[in-house]
Amino acid sequence: MRDWFKNAVVYQVYPKSFQDTDGDGLGDLRGVTQHLDYIRDLGVDVIWLNPVYKNSGVDGGYDISDYREIAPELGTMADFDELLAQAHARGLRIVMDLVVNHTSTEHRWFQESRASRDNDKRSFYVWRAPHEGKEPNGLRSAFSGSAWQKDETTGEYYLHMFAREQADLNWHEPRVREGVYDMMRWWLDKGVDGFRMDVITMIGKPEETIAADGGPGGDVCNGEKTHEYLREMNREVLSRYDIMTVGEAAGTSTEQAIRYASLDGSELNMIFQFEHMEVDAGAHGKWSDEPLDLPRLKAVLARWQTALHGRAWNSLYWDNHDQPRVVSRFGCDADETCRMRSAKMLAACLHMMQGTPYIYQGEELGMTNYPFADISESRDVEAVNAWQELVEERGELTGEQMMRAIRRKGRDNARTPMQWTAGKNAGFTNGEPWMPVNPNHDRINAEAEEGDPGSVLAFYRALIRIRRENPVVIDGDFTLLMPEDARVFAYTRCDGTHTLRVACNFSGETAKLDAEASFHGGRLLIGNYEDAGAADSLRPWECRVELE
């Protein structure tokens, strides 16, 4: 069965922040192995591992210096093999992060490429001559500043869409593609079960966007060549294995998604779209402090649900290693009652949609953002560079405004250690943790939630069970109800036999439901209050899933 990805639920592990077993303050592969029973007991089928390869320590492992080596700080290849074997023994599959838009500048390929203009590997990267003595064009890096870096050895610029230490590979060079496919086969032959492909929509950059013409550069994502290369990769590698693939796809429309994630299987199984993560962006991009516009969030998700239905496959996510904690972002973390209610409500709202759900470590506990007080506490290159640009160079934001934005949206919120216990360092490490542990681990931790039937953890387990037991969750179509309502997110899923009715209150006040969204007297599959409540309204942060 090649489409097991449709029934799968994925648990994402950021190994560096999951579990330390050797006291160095960094999580490691053995730490993941140690918690495989916990992951299995959630009911998930797949683990997506953030990058575990040898890297240069600039961007959380997304700056790979050797694709076939494990980062020594995370362990050894033997540890990896053991993790894979132990996962498989429990019926869990492992999906690796595939970071092939760029490599670290420490990668052997780049070291050769930069050596001289006529080096055999010069064409492995995107080198351009200066334009009138300056950057080849106006392309900007996602991590602030120009996307071009001058390399003194040859006086030319190389492209880096992310940090300066992450040089973009030139996918138009066939030897690069062959090298990548070869490496992918190597991991697949080892037994890994698929790939999450980092910023994959960027690989086929249109020539005009990377030309040394002094122009603005343009959009490097979703070029026709990206589709061409993915189809090639599919023919050469993916289609030959029983695996799952998901492409990270910022700035991608539903039309594009239907090509990337077509049910005909010609490119990828699904993509991570970003539109629903941009509803609270503003004048300073993600660093703006915009309140959630619920009708907009609903419109975006409903469009993805309906546009892809029957044609392509969705992924479903609120959290990952690049996003803040959803309970702090779209829910409420002001007190325990609203935190638990809203964490459950958000989970139900997402997990009952069509697509493959992804749970990011700690999300199943209702982990929250971290109270960052000062920029010196930020470890993330994105936040540090943005501070430099927006606060120090341009003065567009005050330090206080930027810190507020970092507390709301910074990627470090997701990277504080996993909260296992109420004890020292939340049970994450015996040493000095590389990132501060959230002080709320005394209340929010796996051990405390484990035995509590009313916990967020128990709720996630129940949601996954509901998906397993009700095919309408996998196959049903999607209809948004009450689209304009500013508090209620309600929808139905129908498969001809059953109707699933999902009603969620995204506010701390009681909210009225219209006739269609009201409880119809069917079977209440799950809710986040102990008693039933009124059929035609929802209490603060209430959610209700009804089956008819």
Q: Where are the alpha helices (DSSP H) in 9-72?
A: 29-34, 36-42
- What residues from 420 to 479 belong to the interface with ligand GLC (CB under 6 A)? none
Rounded Cα–Cα distance for residues 272 and 355 (Å): 11
Segment near ligand GLC (CB under 6 A), from 55-63, 282-290, 292-300, 464-472? 55-63
199 touches ligand GLC by CB under 6 A = yes
Give the residue with the Cβ less far from ligand GLC, 84 or 200: 200
Rounded Cα–Cα distance for residues 283 and 151 (Å): 33
- What residues from 69 to 108 belong to the interface with ligand GLC (CB under 6 A)? 99
- What residues from 139 to 158 belong to the interface with ligand GLC (CB under 6 A)? none
Contact status, residue 96 vs residue 12, Cβ threshold 8 Å: no
Give the residue with the Cβ less far from ligand GLC, 326 or 517: 326
User: What one-character DSSP code corresponds to residue 392?
Assistant: I
Catalytic residue among 28, 106, 198, 267: 198
User: CB of residue 204 vs ligand GLC: minimum separation in angstroms?
Assistant: 17
Judge residue 482's burial from the number of C-beta atoms within 10 Å of its C-beta, 0-12 exposed, 13-18 middle, 19 or more buried: buried
62 touches ligand GLC by CB under 6 A = yes
Rounded Cα–Cα distance for residues 411 and 322 (Å): 5
User: CB of residue 58 vs ligand GLC: minimum separation in angstroms?
Assistant: 9
- Active-site residue flag, 156: no
**Residue 158: φ, ψ to 5°:** -110, 155
Give the residue with the Cβ less far from ligand GLC, 159 or 490: 159
Q: Which residues of 290-308 are buried (b: 16+ CB within 10 A; e: fewer)?
A: eeeebeebbbbbbebbebb
Q: Sign of torsion, CA 317 319 320 323?
A: positive
Choosing from 322, 333, 364, 546, the residue that interacts with ligand GLC (CB under 6 A) is 322
Q: Which of 265, 225, 226 is nearest to 245 (CA)?
A: 265
- How big is the site for ligand GLC, counted in residues (CB under 6 A)? 10
Give the residue with the Cβ less far from ligand GLC, 98 or 375: 98
Choosing from 11, 162, 317, 370, the residue that interacts with ligand GLC (CB under 6 A) is 162
Judge residue 119's burial from the number of C-beta atoms within 10 Å of its C-beta, 0-12 exposed, 13-18 middle, 19 or more buried: middle
User: CB of residue 218 vs ligand GLC: minimum separation in angstroms?
Assistant: 20
Rounded Cα–Cα distance for residues 514 and 536 (Å): 7
CA distances to 364, 408, 414, 497 from 11, rounded to whole Å, are: 10, 23, 14, 30
User: CB of residue 321 vs ligand GLC: minimum separation in angstroms?
Assistant: 6
* Number of neighbouring beta carbons within 10 Å of residue 114: 21
User: CB of residue 248 vs ligand GLC: minimum separation in angstroms?
Assistant: 6
Segment near ligand GLC (CB under 6 A), from 19-27, 59-67, 258-266, 474-482? 59-67
Rounded Cα–Cα distance for residues 365 and 369 (Å): 13
198 touches ligand GLC by CB under 6 A = yes
Give the residue with the Cβ less far from ligand GLC, 98 or 543: 98
User: What one-character DSSP code corresponds to residue 390?
Assistant: I
Choosing from 106, 248, 363, 449, the residue that interacts with ligand GLC (CB under 6 A) is 248
Residue 521: which region, alpha, beta or left (left: phi > 0; alpha: psi -120 to 50)? left
Segment near ligand GLC (CB under 6 A), from 37-45, 56-64, 173-181, 208-216? 56-64
Give the residue with the Cβ less far from ligand GLC, 59 or 275: 59
Catalytic residue among 59, 168, 248, 382: 248
- Active-site residue flag, 255: no
What amino acid positions are annotated as catalytic residues?
198, 248
Provide the binding-site residues for ligand GLC, judged by CB under 6 A: 59-60, 62, 99, 162, 198-199, 248, 321-322
